[in-house]
Structure 1
């Protein structure tokens, strides 16, 4: 989240009534988002309130894109957390909490997660 302070909705709408006629860019929703520091969905909804024609299809696309971005961030955070846990338990794997060594055939042996009463890497 941005630490930048934004105007309250009523103030933005008042200001935008004067800003809209001066806007010269190609995408007014993007311009509004950038000018007032709001999300694309918020920008589209507020511009609709001000009488700018914005299709419901476009707003649906914005919502879908925002949801995809949220899911991607969530996946990255989960992946980062799992990687950190794997580094913390570098001498373990999905089966063993602690790998004491390996047999001559290369199979690991040690204490299992189940013996410790834990889920692998603390992930449930």
Structure 2
């Protein structure tokens, strides 16, 4: 059997079905299903979220308690909020890292910035000022190694 060049075909066909195809195949699948939670099994087998699974199983004639449907809706909303919070925290972390740099020379392959931090610049500038003051107004020459960049 030859491998497919198209990446979208790497997942099982049943997980790429549209609703009509799922509903046609779900009848036979449901007859053979032996698990405890048919909605969870449907969700896993066809690669849809739990709310979609409940909706489609109701179309096929299965009954679910209203409390279960509400619980599913609440869990999906909670998962979405958690995903948004993680995205926000990651953005804040990246902004914080960028704010700590005086000069960003580049980024690693993982996206971590590297360069000169503002703390390093402040330390270096204080050291340069001390050297200037301690030279008793003699001409001050800075060695290249003393430069912060």
C-alpha distance in 1 between matches for 2:17 and 2:83: 27
Stretches of structure 1 that go unaligned for 5 or more consecutive residues are 93-97, 103-124
How many residues align? The count is 95
Displacement of 1:91 in angstroms is 5.3
Alignment partner for residue 48 of structure 2, among 28, 34, 38?
Answer: 38
Q: What is the match of residue 16 of structure 2?
A: 6
C-alpha distance in 1 between matches for 2:101 and 2:46: 50
1:87 aligns with 2:82: no
Q: What is the match of residue 31 of structure 2?
A: 21
Displacement of 1:8 in angstroms is 1.2
1:71 aligns with 2:81: yes
Stretches of 4+ aligned residues off by more than 3 angstroms: 98-102
Q: What is the match of residue 66 of structure 2?
A: 56
C-alpha distance in 2 between matches for 1:101 and 1:16: 66
Displacement of 1:6 in angstroms is 1.8
User: What is the SS of the residue equivalent to 2:61?
Assistant: coil
Q: Taking structure 2 as the reference length, what is the TM-score of the superposition?
A: 0.58
Stretches of structure 2 that go unaligned for 5 or more consecutive residues are 1-7, 103-117, 124-149
Give the greater-gyration-radius structure (CA): 2
Displacement of 1:21 in angstroms is 1.1
Which structure has the highest helix share of the two? 2
